[in-house]
Amino acid sequence: MATPLRRSARARPQSTQKTSRQPTPDSDESEIRVPDDSDSEDEYVDDGAEAEVEEDEGMEVDEPEPEPESEDDEEEEDWADEEKPKRGKGSNVTPRTPKTPKTQRTPRGVRRANLTPRTDAGRRSTATALSNSTLNAYPPAYRDLLLQSANSLTRKDGGERPPPPTLKAPIFPLGVVTPFSTHLASMPRREQVATFKITPDDSPHKESRRDRMREKAKRVAVIPPWQAWEGEGWWPEMCAGEAGEGKGKGKASSVAGPVEGWQWRSDVRLGLDGVGRDAAKNVIPASEGRKYVPSAGPVHLNIASLKSEKTVELKQFDTTPIDAFISTGFIVAAGAPVWGLDWCPYPDRLAIEHGGEQYVALSTIPEDIQPAIGARCSPDAPGSIQIWSVLGPEAGASSRPEGNTACEIVLCLSGGPALDIRWMPLGAWDEIGGDGVPKIGILAAVQLDGSLAFYAVPHPRVLRDKVTEPGPTYLRAEPLLKLSIADAACTCIQWLSGHRIVTGLANGHIVVWDIVDALISPPSEPPLPSIYATVALSAIRSLSTGRCPPTDADGDLDYSGEALYVAFGAMDGTTGVLDMRDPSNVVELNRSRLPCMATAWSHHVGVPLYADVDYMVIMAQTRANLGPATYYLTPHRGPVWEISTSDYHTMVASAASDGSVLVSNCGTGFYRRKQGGMLFQRLYELDYDEHTHQYRMTDNYRAEASGLEEATSKATHKNSRTKGNRAEAMAPTTGDAAVVKSGAWSKRVAAHRVAWQSGAGMARAGWIASGGWSGIVRVEQLVGKWLPQPK
């Protein structure tokens, strides 16, 4: 142990020189001044030696440090405790004044330095680490260089302070992800190929166009008009490397892309042209095909216009237009509860050859089947998927006997009904011609036997020429590829890119497969997953992909890279985001006591969306910003089943168990005025009469506004309309019945699915389809109007 430095009793006269210098006008006040050897005559010695300081006549001499005291000596030091003044009556003891504590000395052998307090001016001034005395020690040639380097470390160029960050997010916080943007040059028509205006990133008119779009956005209530739509959505296969060349194993495109090095989404080829063209040999009679299709009998629906009401009886595969009643669109009867719904991404230029038809896939589950989470049915259990064709309302009276909307094909499956279906997003269609029947796409389906199967869907018009029976064509579909996990059933799916698909499992895991090579050349054994990660403690209920391109080492966007982010909702109430580069690290967005049934991703804003415990659709902040972390979009009165976004506009649609389908706009980003409410549009609402067993569809709602407290059911007696307790304040008899929330809605009115048409180009971006337990599917086109110019 090192011996401490001690002071001997011998002392010599103390020097009259001060131990510290006062700051001069040229010196820096914030600089620490330490006296040098001339300021003090104290001598420093090594450990174990003695530092002797002589004493003047009037100088106090410190005694040597005493040895450690024993426990007996501690009692003598507690004189203050033993001689405390007595309190109470008759006490005449004079209290003893305690000794004044001595000033704490500096450890021996260490000199004390005077610290001049720093001022605010010193903090805001240029770096003062180099004082004038220090600079004088350097040659004159280096003095200016040292001062300039100190200034560059503390101040920006020009000596200006950085501007404070704004708290307002722009109207389009992210916009389109691609290095170019497109918008329609004219109003879209059903029998015309849409014309576009392309604006590259390096265009001198980009900023002016963006400013005009921002001004126009102020004139949009909820549903933007076609002039405000813009695209394209980003997919890694669109980045071709060289103009006019396809990506992957496909063949080169003959259509010029939007800009050099890019292709249109409809021109991407993945080498799947010869896959699944033998559908004609799998056609079966209608009598045999009906065994695969569940039917719950006819549905009686009351449709009302502004002045009259009409009751329509809808049998399975029946349709009725609603443009003469309440909206522009159609209603179709699937015949059973709808659990899967998705639009086919068929190119617009090919659809024009057949009158501009679009296709919607529906999957149904019989009413008497209530599948449990993780349960598997028999591999031989029957199931079906319906393929419907839709013509635009501007077609007028169609020349087809089945009308503007019809069920074209019924895929008869083995492995049980499909719980979730998703079309392959791009590159899976065939050109018309060649051997066999060309396909319109490849459909991925999660079946109740716990597997994920991929089916080729033939072109309905070409297949119709080979079939003579009226009505839908029944086709025994053989899967191109079937994937499964031994210890868990598949529950939901979503596409990461044109060749990678992510799947949610019943054990809380997600799995990613690369399936293009297996579709082209089916292997003897199913392909192994590329990612298998744990993200939750229970079954995964919903998946959505954030298609934002990754960045390289220089911070530039890598448009040919894979999508990285996946948002998920689980049955344990967990909502999170997963980065595919680090699947073991899950970023939790929300945790609630109710399952998260729906998630989505807004590609224009670049953020995930989910439904919370208050049945609200919430947009979550994922980028560093001083704005709010979440943003409320639409309020529902029951659990939310589905959230849908588009690649071409900022509208968000949601379907819930209260029978409503709501549309909101996320174009304002995360900015809302203080105490401002939510603005949304109710497309329709479905009711059911338990006595007459009839449905009623109400429509023609005005845009609605709702306060945050009422929408989240968090109003109290201080701010509610009543002075009672919270239960009375939110009761239907005293509060607003339109905002009363409940989880006990009848299953017959629930809306399970809603989807925007995002795969047939910007001209078809306004189409939306929704359906639920009743088997009633509504297909319509939404095109907004400008608000009047403010005066």
Which token pair is 424? 């392959």
Measured distance CA(565)–CA(550) in Å, rounded:
10
Q: What is the 3-state secondary structure (H, E, C) of 56-84?
A: CCCCCCCCCCCCCCCHHHHHHHCHHHHCC
Which token pair is 468? 């003579």
First-residue to last-residue Cα distance in the chain: 87
Closest by CA position to 504, among listed 534, 530, 548, 528: 534
At 606-665, the pLDDT tens digits run 889 999 988 999 998 876 655 567 888 999 999 999 999 999 998 999 999 999 999 998
Measured distance CA(588)–CA(574) in Å, rounded:
7
Q: What is the DSSP letter of 476?
A: E
Which token pair is 439? 């396909």
Closest by CA position to 311, among listed 698, 696, 693, 701: 696
Helix%, strand%, coil% for the chain, nearest 5? 15, 30, 60
Across 171-175, 360-364, 526-530, 590-594, which has the greatest mean pLDDT?
A: 360-364
Whether 291 contacts 453, CB under 8 Å: no
Measured distance CA(492)–CA(149) in Å, rounded:
58
Residue 509 neighbours by CB distance under 10 Å: 21
**Residue 67 pLDDT more than 70?**
no
Residue 791: pLDDT band (50, 70, 90) is: low
Grouping H, G, I as helix, E, B as strand and the rest as coil, residue 144 is helix
Whether 597 contacts 641, CB under 8 Å: yes
**Residue 356 pLDDT more than 80?**
yes
Q: Please, which contacts does 516-525 make with residues 24 or more away whose CB atoms are closer than 8 Å?
A: 516/248, 516/249, 516/270, 516/271, 516/272, 518/481, 519/272, 519/275, 519/442, 519/454, 519/480, 519/481, 520/249, 520/271, 520/272, 520/275, 522/480, 522/481
Alpha-carbon distances of 16 from 11, 39, 57, 152, 463, rounded to whole Å: 15, 10, 14, 44, 112
pLDDT on residue 751: 96
Size of the chain in residues: 791
Q: What are phi and psi of 125, to 5 degrees?
A: -80, 170
Residue 776 neighbours by CB distance under 10 Å: 20
Q: Is 371 exposed, middle or buried (0-12, 13-18, 19+ CB in 10 A)?
A: middle
Measured distance CA(308)–CA(290) in Å, rounded:
37
pLDDT on residue 328: 74
Instruction: Give the CA radius of gyration of the chain.
Output: 38
Whether 190 contacts 169, CB under 8 Å: no
Grouping H, G, I as helix, E, B as strand and the rest as coil, residue 217 is helix
Q: Which residue has the tokens 């690369």?
A: 514
pLDDT on residue 120: 44
Mean pLDDT of the region 346-364? 89
pTM metric for this prediction? 0.75
Closest by CA position to 15, among listed 44, 45, 56, 69: 56
Q: DSSP labels for 655-723?
A: EETTSEEEEEE-TTTT---TT--EEEEEEEEEEEETTTTEEEEE--PPPEEE-HHHHTT---TTTSSSS
Closest by CA position to 632, among listed 682, 588, 668: 668
Whether 61 contacts 55, CB under 8 Å: yes
**Residue 324 pLDDT more than 80?**
no
Whether 262 contacts 557, CB under 8 Å: no
Alpha-carbon distances of 43 from 7, 8, 40, 107, 109, rounded to whole Å: 11, 12, 9, 14, 8
**Residue 322 pLDDT more than 90?**
no
Closest by CA position to 406, among listed 353, 457, 362, 345: 362
Residue 325: pLDDT band (50, 70, 90) is: low
Alpha-carbon distances of 730 from 385, 601, 628, 658, 672, rounded to whole Å: 43, 32, 27, 17, 25
Which token pair is 708? 């945050």
Residue 296: pLDDT band (50, 70, 90) is: confident
Measured distance CA(669)–CA(631) in Å, rounded:
8
Closest by CA position to 264, among listed 30, 499, 426: 426
pLDDT on residue 466: 82
Q: Which residues pair with 776 in a beta bridge?
A: 333
If one compares 705 and 396, the residue with the highest pLDDT of the two is 705
Which token pair is 711? 């929408």
Domains in the chain: boundaries: 180-267, 283-296+335-484
Lowest mean pLDDT among 40-54, 192-206, 245-259, 374-388: 40-54
Whether 719 contacts 697, CB under 8 Å: no
Whether 696 contacts 681, CB under 8 Å: no
Tell me the H-state helices in 586-677: none
If one compares 178 and 424, the residue with the highest pLDDT of the two is 424
Whether 235 contacts 647, CB under 8 Å: no
pLDDT on residue 188: 80
Chain centroid to CA 83: 72
Q: DSSP labels for 379-414?
A: TT-EEEEEEEEE--GGG-S-SSTT-SEEEEEEEEEE
At 548-561, the pLDDT tens digits run 888 887 778 888 88
pLDDT on residue 545: 94
Residue 288: pLDDT band (50, 70, 90) is: very high
